[in-house]
Structure 1
Amino acid sequence: MMKNWLAAGAIALTAGMTATVAQAQTTTVPGEQVGLAVGAPLPEGIYAINTFTYRSQDNAAVDTAVNIPILVWSTPWVPLGGRLEFVVAPPTVFVFGRNSGPGGLRDLSINVGTFVGGIWAFDLGGNFGVSLLGGTYLNEANGDRGVLVQNNGVVASRAVLPQLASNTYRFGVAGSYTGDGWNLTANLTYNFYDSPARFDGRGSTLGAIPISDALNLDLTATKKFGKFEIGAIGYGTVNLDPNLLYPATLGGGRIGRGGRFALGGLIGYDFGIFTVQAYVARDVVTSVAGTESTDGWFRIIAPLYTPPAPVPVAAPLVRKY
């Protein structure tokens, strides 16, 4: 059962936050899928997953958090042997200012970038699986993210979520091995943007925002011991176009080959009707020294509905007289 719930994480999809030039401007949060066998197909049914992450970056004006509720329908359809799974995920982003003075940034929460998409997942046999993902973050449908505001009411000079000025298109490929209690998974995620874009309303004062495409890599190596799970995880992201302007500066500076990579550990427990996971990671590589971050994650995975197993038809009783 736990293997199936891990596979449900193939659709742990969110919107991300870019805090400094050291970070790539990916919409998909790096690390959102670690700990999950994203390459394995789900059994038919409906699944709920909620992932929460809190990020504290060194020398930053704010801490950030994202909560991602996800609903997955794993359909009975298996064209060419791959199961189709449909996904919707409306995340919420939180910003927490570190400075309580007039010049500090206000705390805020905003609904952003509802994701709609699908997965085509294949069981290759031998406990190996592979999946393909495609979908869109409907950033424009969620309204204006605007700009950050200081405690004294002064508008800050950068967008809350510059990478969400327009819809984000996402593609991914993942492979998993889930034999003998192991979860060995690698997942590549590609975000590309209809750039340049701009915010509507208040954020339109920022003008056009040119945005670089981004590539993420999530890695998992965990092992189950009874109901417990423990192991190592890693994740990172990098910009693919170093010539585009960094959206926080707009009028000056280049984003460069911005990116980061983090390593950490994961622990999980299977309660029977649901599973929980927690993991922590720390940046080991960033584009700019002094901008390393520490990320904490918590996840709940639960099946909401699975079709009943077919009832075997009793063979007719034949009597011989």
Structure 2
Amino acid sequence: MPTPRRWELAAACFAWGLSGLAGAGPAAAGSAAQPGQSVGLPVGAQIPHGLYLITAANFGVRDTAPGVTPLNVNTVTLAWATPWNVLGGRVQLFAGAPYSAVAPQKGAWQSGFGQPLLAGQLAWDLGGDVGFSYLLGGYFPSRTGFTTQAPSLTHRFALSYVGNDWNVTGHLFYGHFLGDRPPPGVATYPDYMNLDLTATRKFGKWQVGAVAFASTDLPTGVAGYRSQGQVAVGGLVGYNFGPVNLQAFVTRDVIDRHYGGRDTRAWLRAVIPLYQDKQEAAPGRTLVTREQSR
């Protein structure tokens, strides 16, 4: 199928990895994958063979009266798009870890490493500019007190349309915590579902469009636990500089449930190819598709 430009495909690979690396929610809530980290990317599409480095950062403030709660999340991910196929799907592998900082109610800043993630993905070309992918990954325990600490599995399903310079993508996360969980009153780690949505279009080296995401805790069976959830919307701008691609977007909660206030957040990504298969790269254009040089 005609594929999106190469930087988008590489970034899609990283979205699977880095979007689960944050582990930056407060210990009272559950999502090990920071909601919204994959928006703007064609996560369901296959990516060209190669080795990539992604750096990503976001900073936001939640209006938790009487004060506010700022949160910063930074991730570094190494991703390998292998030359192998399994069951007709391209194999991608990921490893990385986040570093986060939070200042509850304008209190003293706390910072530390969150949960590292190891994951593998299969991505299928369905034809007609449509791709589908599935990822299975595992989060390792963390000793940073304000992040999620318990080990968990993450399952992720993505469907992307990438024809005619469009990227229309839905990306569903399901997270399941493993082993013994903290006793009631210490922390509650509910299983969770997140949904990231993208509708963007390319204009030359530029990419613009709308993004949105939603998240919800699943039932815990813990008496008195107030399930958290949110819906956020925003806009995205991206630019392909050649060997490095940047994306920036801003999101704002329009619905929040038991978070104590709504969050406004700015995000920035940079995708850096360390190695790419020359047969898949167009001459002189590091970040384009295998088949097109327009």
**Structure 2 counterpart of 1:201:** none
- Letter of the structure 1 residue corresponding to residue 211 of structure 2: I
Report the Cα distance in structure 1 between the residues aligned to 2:83 and 2:186, rounded to whole angstroms: 44
Report the Cα distance in structure 2 between the residues aligned to 1:71 and 1:6, rounded to whole angstroms: 11
Is 1:220 matched with 2:198? yes
Q: 1:42 aligns with which of 31, 47, 65?
A: 47
Is 1:115 matched with 2:114? no
Report the Cα distance in structure 1 between the residues aligned to 2:272 and 2:263, rounded to whole angstroms: 30
Report the Cα distance in structure 1 between the residues aligned to 2:16 and 2:178, rounded to whole angstroms: 25
- Letter of the structure 2 residue corresponding to residue 12 of structure 1: L
CA-based RMSD of the aligned residues comes to 2.3
Is 1:51 matched with 2:21? no
- Asked whether the 8 Å contact 1:16–1:66 carries over to 2, the reply is no
- Letter of the structure 2 residue corresponding to residue 240 of structure 1: L
Is 1:12 matched with 2:18? yes
Identify unmatched segments of 5+ residues in structure 2.
1-5, 281-294
Shift in Å at residue 211 of structure 1?
1.9
Is 1:191 matched with 2:175? yes
Relative to structure 1, the CA distance from residue 20 to residue 281 in structure 2 (aligned partners, 3 Å threshold; closer, same or farther) is: farther
Report the Cα distance in structure 2 between the residues aligned to 1:129 and 1:229, rounded to whole angstroms: 20
Identify unmatched segments of 5+ residues in structure 1.
100-104, 147-159, 199-203, 246-252, 311-321
Question: 3-state DSSP class of the match of 1:262?
Answer: strand
Question: 3-state DSSP class of the match of 2:103?
Answer: strand
Report the Cα distance in structure 2 between the residues aligned to 1:28 and 1:269, rounded to whole angstroms: 26
Relative to structure 1, the CA distance from residue 167 to residue 19 in structure 2 (aligned partners, 3 Å threshold; closer, same or farther) is: closer
- Letter of the structure 2 residue corresponding to residue 42 of structure 1: I
Relative to structure 1, the CA distance from residue 289 to residue 26 in structure 2 (aligned partners, 3 Å threshold; closer, same or farther) is: closer
Question: How many pairs were matched up?
Answer: 271
TM-score by length of structure 1 reads: 0.78
Is 1:211 matched with 2:189? yes
**Structure 1 counterpart of 2:76:** 69
Relative to structure 1, the CA distance from residue 44 to residue 282 in structure 2 (aligned partners, 3 Å threshold; closer, same or farther) is: same
**Structure 2 counterpart of 1:240:** 218
Shift in Å at residue 243 of structure 1?
3.3
Report the Cα distance in structure 1 between the residues aligned to 2:195 and 2:210, rounded to whole angstroms: 14
Is 1:255 matched with 2:226? yes
Is 1:173 matched with 2:175? no
Q: Structure 1, residues 10-63: CA drift from partner, whole Å, max 9, x if none?
A: 333322433597xx5211000000011110111111011111111210025531
- Asked whether the 8 Å contact 2:27–2:188 carries over to 1, the reply is no
- Asked whether the 8 Å contact 1:274–1:302 carries over to 2, the reply is yes
Q: Which moved more, 1:8-17 or 1:208-217?
A: 8-17
Is 1:269 matched with 2:236? no
- Letter of the structure 2 residue corresponding to residue 56 of structure 1: V
Report the Cα distance in structure 2 between the residues aligned to 1:12 and 1:280, rounded to whole angstroms: 18
Name the % identity: 34
- Asked whether the 8 Å contact 2:165–2:201 carries over to 1, the reply is yes
Report the Cα distance in structure 2 between the residues aligned to 1:178 and 1:217, rounded to whole angstroms: 19
Structure whose alpha-carbon radius of gyration is higher: 1
Question: 3-state DSSP class of the match of 1:4?
Answer: helix
